[in-house]
A = this chain, B = another copy of it.
């Protein structure tokens, strides 16, 4: 028994190929009795339409691509799951495409991907989603796309997107630390190629400003969303003449590095030092103490982005959507120890 084709179904149901096609595609104009017969034949033969043939003939595509270059497995898995959920619901396939965001001919690479695999469009995750040059090139190739980006508000730049308000979320974390009584709050940057990094920094800066907390250059260090940068950064901050009483790492991995550095310096978190992360990764729940952080519902965001893309493909006009991460208070933050 090879695979049943539409031809086998047609023969079994004693109708033409086209009628079977109509039933499959819910085109209407098929008598109930005929439809029944066809459906029964499909059932009996275990027939499933061949996606290659289908998209070849109809010039429609039944799969979309998910493009990312992000070393964070938790983030990527969540994005994949969200995208898959939307795809399955809408009858689309999903082609994952991890890539190097610094690749010189990324636009060509993606165009080839889209053409070769007949993709209907692309969902772009950060940092690809934030390269205007790339977006314009893809647009020039007429490739439908949706971005997941970091932005405080709808960019209204013509490229559909789902935007996550990292700035606001970082503001909330910083404000929370200030309300606990901290005035010397260290900030460790994420990677510069991610738009989320300056956004998070801006949130930090704005909270300090709004609450009248003096800004201190020496408390802000660059980095790259990595454990090691968190460790090194924290060590440097803790070695200052007047060290911070709290450190805000731009993501949970940085915060993990901060926890380790604090430990190595013999400090007790949160009594000697408060630590906050960003992301609500499993690490933040499983570390000791567990991390105060910011929860972004990545899966929901990705699912929404995918739905948006599919709507765009169907020609509906789509409205960008914003999401705000939510403060999650756990055990790594406390009021500062009174100065001796």
Instruction: Give the chain B neighbours of A3 by CB distance below 8 A.
Output: 115
Specify the chain B residue showing the minimal Cβ separation from A256: B286
Specify the chain B residue showing the minimal Cβ separation from A76: B77
**A48-B116, A117-B93 in contact; A288/B288 too (CB < 8 A)?**
yes
Contact of A84 among B93, B98, B112, B257 (CB under 8 A): B98
B50 & A53 in contact (Cβ 8 Å cutoff): no
**A56-B53, A256-B286, A288-B260 in contact; A94/B96 too (CB < 8 A)?**
yes
Complex CA–CA separation, A259 to B56 (angstroms):
55
A92 to chain B, nearest CB (A): 12
Instruction: Give the chain B neighbours of A74 by CB distance below 8 A.
Output: 73
Specify the chain B residue showing the minimal Cβ separation from A227: B286
Complex CA–CA separation, A115 to B54 (angstroms):
13
Query: Chain A 91-134, CB within 8 Å of chain B: the 1/0 string?
Result: 00111101000000000100110011110000000000000000
Specify the chain B residue showing the minimal Cβ separation from A288: B263
B116 & A49 in contact (Cβ 8 Å cutoff): yes
Query: Chain A 42-62, CB within 8 Å of chain B: the 1/0 string?
Result: 000010111111011000000
A227 & B282 in contact (Cβ 8 Å cutoff): yes
Contact of A95 among B50, B93, B115, B263 (CB under 8 A): B93
A118 to chain B, nearest CB (A): 5
Complex CA–CA separation, A51 to B262 (angstroms):
54
A96 & B112 in contact (Cβ 8 Å cutoff): no
Main secondary structure of the interface of A (DSSP, over half): helix
Within 8 A of B (CB), among A24-55: 46, 48-53, 55
A260 & B286 in contact (Cβ 8 Å cutoff): yes
Query: Chain A 286-323, CB within 8 Å of chain B: the 1/0 string?
Result: 11100000000000000000000000000000000000
Looking at A56, A74, A76, the one whose CB has the most chain B CB atoms below 10 A away is A56
**A74-B73, A115-B3, A260-B286 in contact; A52/B49 too (CB < 8 A)?**
no
Instruction: Give the chain B neighbours of A80 by CB distance below 8 A.
Output: 96, 98
Complex CA–CA separation, A95 to B94 (angstroms):
7
How many chain-A residues does the 8 Å CB contact rule pick out?
42
Instruction: Give the chain B neighbours of A48 by CB distance below 8 A.
Output: 112, 115-116
CB of A22 within 8 Å of the partner chain: no
B112 & A286 in contact (Cβ 8 Å cutoff): no
CB of A176 within 8 Å of the partner chain: no
Complex CA–CA separation, A74 to B227 (angstroms):
16
Specify the chain B residue showing the minimal Cβ separation from A47: B115
Complex CA–CA separation, A96 to B81 (angstroms):
11
**Interface pairs (29), CB distance under 8 Å:** A46-B108, A48-B112, A50-B115, A50-B116, A50-B118, A51-B116, A52-B55, A52-B118, A56-B56, A73-B282, A77-B77, A81-B98, A84-B96, A93-B95, A94-B96, A95-B95, A96-B96, A227-B285, A227-B286, A253-B282, A253-B286, A257-B286, A260-B288, A263-B288, A283-B283, A283-B286, A286-B287, A287-B287, A287-B288
Q: Which 6 A-B pairs have the closest CB atoms?
A: A52-B52, A73-B77, A256-B286, A263-B288, A73-B73, A52-B56
A sample of 5 more A-B contacts (CB under 8 A), given A73-B76, A80-B98, A253-B286, is: A3-B115, A51-B117, A81-B98, A94-B96, A259-B288
